[in-house]
Amino acid sequence: MIGQLPDLHRCSMISAMCTFSENPVVERLSHIVGARYVLTGADANPWSHDWSGTITWTPLAVVRPANTRVVSKIVKLANLNKLPVVPVSGNTGLTKGTTAEGAIMVSLDRMSAIRDIRPDGRTAVVEAGVILSRLHEAAAEHDLIFPLTFGARGSAMIGGAISTNAGGSNVLRYGNTRDLCLGLEVVLPNGEIMNLMSALHKDNSGYDLRHLLIGAEGTLGIITAAVLKLRPKPKAYATAMVAVASVDQAVHLLNRLQSETGGAVEAFEYMPRSFIEAHLKRFPEARAPFDDMYDVNILVEVGALAPRDAMPNPDGSIPITMHLETVLAGSFEKGDVLDAVVAQNDTQRAEMWARREAAAEVSRLRDPIVDNDIAVPVDKMQALLERINKRTQALDPGMQNISVAHLGDGNLHFAGWPETLDPEIHRAIQDAVEEEVIALGGSFSAEHGIGLSKLPAMSRRKDPAALAAMRAIKQALDPNNIMNPGKVIPAL
């Protein structure tokens, strides 16, 4: 039985000076996990900053357990001694959600087993440390897909995606991570293991604790494994870059494409002229999507499941690609489309996607940057962009907007390079963006989570009754406030 250790809070405050022999917590962790999997000092550096590198911290220790039972022992030790615990997966988050000064960081990177792929049930049973791209590859071996995808898929892990309810480019057809998760295995703040590893599509046996934990960002427990939905792999894709006169016109095109394809549009991504220009500056070897430059550029992709839509014709053409070309040609004749280029092979498709997925790298072309991850109803996106432009130009006439959007689900990744270096103006821009989002019935947080970055917005914008309910849930499950403390829920 683990006993309470003396004077641990003092030691956590000076964690940078503690060694195995000086710190009884680190010694006890080494006994639980094995000394080689307890990292301190310089060895913990890879876990001591976020993806952007804008914030750093010194954890008490980084522990790398190999199974759920060991995670349970770590959390029990922390809870008994009221020490903060911060779970971390691929550490690709954008809201400072893994900040862990003086905390025990629990890295799930060794818990990377794909326990089972069940083709007939179209499910995968995976551990939290499975890298997203690896699950993609495993599903593909069974002619299936796990449809969650985004630019960081080569390093992001399943546990982090579930904890932030990640979205990505295919939400339009498949939904957020929440919609792709059937079951969870979770270590609660008291160290107990909660087994919700069901593959059921229907289960009305009480509160849906699974949905409570998805998107909680590690504040209610550590997700260690999950049962995930797999989908049939499209037999062919039709992908195109399309230029239209306005975002409203793009939404009309989306609705037409959905009708013409039976709801088979998988992605509908917006990129403005300013982003295209910035992308070409960041990647000089890249090509522009069209011979001319347009204000509104859309990446659209349709996935064909039926063989009749995917089997090549005698001339080698693919029916779904021909159908997309026909629909776009008709829209062009009506004046609804200004220009379009349809990918004719995988290389051209990859080039189109590379442009959109480079958004994070493009945004770091200049400093400083003011950004946010927001959402409005799809038909309000044009109004949002117009309002944001008016407000930001009034605050900083020289600001360059390079926002991109998952237009199909109303998620705007607002980003801009301000001319002024005044942080007060930067905060005013963020406030103005939030105000316009709320006025249009939107959300100040779409798919990146809250972390530390959006605590002020939570305080200002979230319904007070909802915040009170969140605090009550947090207090009930984590009375010692050890699980990723200070994140998601603003202090009273």
Same domain, 275 and 381: no
How far apart are alpha carbons 437 and 383 in whole angstroms?
10
Identify the domain boundary among 356, 385, 400: 356
Predicted local distance difference test score (pLDDT) of residue 253: 98
Q: Mark whether 318 and 370 lie in a shared domain.
A: no
Residues whose CB is less than 8 angstroms from the CB of residue 244 and which lie 6 or more positions away in sequence, other chains included: 250, 253, 294, 296, 298, 336, 337, 338
Amino acid identity of residue 280, one-letter, is: L
Residue 39 lies in a domain: yes
Does this model's pTM top 0.85? My answer is: yes
pLDDT at 92: 84
Structure confidence by residue, pLDDT tens digits, 194-222: 999 999 999 999 999 999 999 999 999 99
Cis peptide leading into residue 485 (ω within 30°): no
pLDDT at 22: 63
Q: Indicate the burial class of 114 (C-beta count within 10 angstroms; 0-12, 13-18, 19 or more).
A: middle
Could you tell me if residue 1 is inside a domain?
no
Which residues have C-beta within 8 Å of that of residue 174, sequence separation ≥ 6? 147, 148, 180, 231, 266
Q: Can you give the pLDDT at residue 118?
A: 98
User: Quick check: is 331 in a domain?
Assistant: yes
Tell whether 44 and 14 lie within a shared domain: yes
The pair of three-digit structure tokens given for residue 210, joined into one six-digit string: 């699974």
| In contact, 193 and 100? CB cutoff 8 Å | no
Task: Give every residue of the chain whose pLDDT is below 70, as ranges.
Answer: 1-22
| Any domain includes 463 | no
Q: What is the structure's pLDDT at 425?
A: 97
Read off φ and ψ for residue 308, nearest 5 degrees. Answer: -65, -25
Distances (CA, A) of 336 to 254, 290, 329, 330, 339: 11, 17, 10, 9, 9
- Structural domain tally of the chain? 4
Do 350 and 266 sit in the same domain of this protein? yes
Same domain, 242 and 131: no
Sheet holding 61-63, edge to edge: 38-39, 61-63, 104-107, 85-88
Q: Given 330, 356, 382, which residue is the final one in a domain?
A: 356
Per-residue model confidence (pLDDT) at position 90: 86
Q: Look at residue 14 in the predicted model and tell me its pLDDT.
A: 38
Q: Which of 356, 374, 400 is the last residue of a domain?
A: 356
Residue 477: inside a domain? no
159 Cβ partners below 8 Å, 6+ apart? 87, 89, 108, 128, 129, 222, 223, 224, 226
Residue ranges making up the domain that contains 89: 8-107
CATH number of the domain within which 240 lies: 3.30.70.2190
Q: Which amino acid is at 149?
A: T
Do both 19 and 91 map to the same domain?
yes
At 173, which CATH number? 3.30.465.10
Tokens (6 digits) for 280: 């070409």
Tens of pLDDT, residue by residue over 262-276, are 999 999 999 999 999
- Are residue 47 and residue 14 in the same domain, yes or no? yes
Q: 134 with 94, same domain?
A: no
